[in-house]
Amino acid sequence: MLAYITRHGQTEYRQGKVILSKSDDLTPEGIERVVNSANVAAEDMRLRGIEVIKIKSSPYGRTSHTAKIWKEVLAKNGLRTTKIEICRDLEEVRNLLDFSEYLKFVNGGEIHIDGTDFLIDQSLTNPDNYKPFSYFRKDCIHNRKTSEGLPKNIIQRIHRIETCVGAMARLQLFLNRLEDIPENQTDVIVSHSGPLSSFTEMCAKNGSGTPYINCGMFYVLERNGNIWNPVHIQEGAIQNE
């Protein structure tokens, strides 16, 4: 059993969770890359004898917009797709801060969270000078030292953020619950960088830094019991930060 796993396309980050018909959150460049990726995937599916595709997406605008593009492109390639299924288990790390505020923990600077202004000292919150995705992947914001000296309400807000490890486990459980389907069918899973991280690391070639999947690109996993292993990686999909 195969699953095509894709990260949402480059986004405007204007929309949170929206109904499918309202999703419209990709940049023009993001749309172009998603169209290209879906065309590449369609050719791969034809070579594998796949005829029917079930598309499952996170509820965010950037992911469901991506899912709609995949559905349209696959149909143009003569493949049959079922109705897009919106799945909460595919959403990004839960209770995450606004990205601009999250970056203050990485680089330092003044934040405004829950009515409190505070100057973040990067030497305390990120003493190892991790880049943003590495900081995110290593769950540095949950490190006890990160919270030292922070106002109580900001500490409480940080503690509400789901760990990256938790998001990865959530995706793994979702995949393990997928029903076995005939060889001429497959699933397309549209999610985010956080939940996809463990599989991205499996797909990554040796290199320094933390691997991440580029926006709008995909890899293919094959199921063996409850183990999913990469069998195809779109060229250029994985980079090391």
The pLDDT value recorded for residue 121 is 92
Say if CB 7 and CB 198 are below 8 A apart.
Answer: no
Query: What's residue 95's pLDDT?
Result: 93
If you average pLDDT over residues 45-51, what whole number do you get? 96
pLDDT score of 207: 61
Q: What is the pLDDT of residue 177?
A: 93
Token pair for residue 79?
């493949």
Q: Contacts by 97-100 with C-beta closer than 8 Å and gap 24+?
A: 97/157, 97/161, 99/13
Residue 170 has a pLDDT of 96
Is the Cβ–Cβ distance between 118 and 111 less than 8 Å? yes
Among 196, 183, 195, 190, CA closest to 223? 183
Q: For the chain, give the percent of residues with pLDDT over 70.
A: 98
**pTM score:** 0.91
pLDDT (tens digit per residue) in 157-191: 999 999 999 999 999 999 999 988 889 999 999 99
Q: Does the pLDDT of residue 126 top 70, yes or no?
A: yes
Tell me what the mean pLDDT of segment 113-123 comes to. 88
Q: What is the mean pLDDT of the chain?
A: 91
Is residue 70 predicted with pLDDT exceeding 90? yes
- Considering 52-56, 144-148, 156-160, 223-227, the range whose residues carry the highest mean pLDDT is 52-56
Instruction: Please give the CATH topology (third level) of the domain spanning 2-92+168-240.
Output: Rossmann fold (3.40.50)
- Rounded to an integer, the average pLDDT of 136-157 is 88
22 — pLDDT class (breaks 50, 70, 90): confident
Rg (CA), the chain: 19
Contact 222, 15 (CB under 8 A): no
Write down the pLDDT at residue 208.
Answer: 60
Average pLDDT over residues 152-157: 90
Rounded mean pLDDT, 113-130: 90
Q: Which residue matches tokens 């109580």?
A: 152
Give CATH 3.40.50.1240 domain extents, the chain: 2-92+168-240
Tokens encoding 240:
């090391």
Query: Which band of pLDDT confidence, cut at 50, 70 and 90, is reported for residue 206?
Result: low
Instruction: pLDDT band for 24, please (50, 70, 90 cuts).
Output: confident
